[in-house]
């Protein structure tokens, strides 16, 4: 729920910033805009992407701040044939940690293989008497 509140706050702040930008563009000169940006309002500075010898003068340029599209969380529709949420959570944990789980199994296998090899090569009885190597 707190993510939703943060998202709403961000949208409100973005709307306020856009309103401020529009009011600055309509009521103030270019020098006033630069002073307002330097005073630390948190507004991003716009880059002038023109080549150095551009024939366009600054009075013809209108810069705007376009808000980025918010990401919508994916909503899953429940169908009667689906598993309960607890089973889905277990599947997702296994899916997320499958690589770590397989790596752990591989390391365990190599360690047991090495233990058996050492037991055979050096004829260490307590290793050879383990139930795993009988």
Asked whether 89 and 83 are in contact (CB, 8 A), the reply is no
How confident is residue 6, by pLDDT bands cut at 50, 70 and 90? Answer: confident
DSSP 8-class letter at 28: S
Q: What is the pLDDT of residue 28?
A: 53
Name the DSSP letter for residue 132: G
Both tokens of 54, joined, read 């551009």
Confidence of residue 33 (pLDDT cuts 50, 70, 90): low
111 pLDDT higher than 80: yes
Q: How far apart are CA 28 and CA 34, in angstroms?
A: 10
Q: In the chain, at which residue ranges do the beta strands (DSSP E only) sit?
A: none
Determine the straight-line distance between the first and last CA of the chain, rounded to whole angstroms: 57
- The whole-model pTM stands at 0.34
The pLDDT tens digits of the residues spanning 85-94 come to 555 566 688 8
């Amino acid at each position: 729920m707190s993510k939703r509140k943060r998202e709403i706050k961000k949208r409100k702040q973005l709307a306020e910033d856009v309103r401020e930008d529009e009011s600055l563009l309509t009521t103030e000169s270019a020098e006033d805009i630069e002073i307002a940006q330097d005073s630390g309002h948190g507004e991003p500075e716009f880059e002038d992407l023109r080549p150095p010898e551009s024939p366009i003068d600054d009075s013809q340029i209108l810069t705007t701040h376009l808000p980025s599209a918010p990401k919508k969380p994916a909503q899953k529709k429940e169908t009667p044939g689906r598993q309960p949420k607890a089973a889905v959570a277990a599947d997702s944990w296994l899916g997320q940690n499958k690589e770590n789980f397989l790596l752990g199994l591989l390391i365990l296998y190599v360690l047991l293989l090495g233990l058996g090899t050492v037991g055979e090569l050096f004829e260490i009885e307590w290793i050879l008497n383990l139930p795993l190597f009988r």
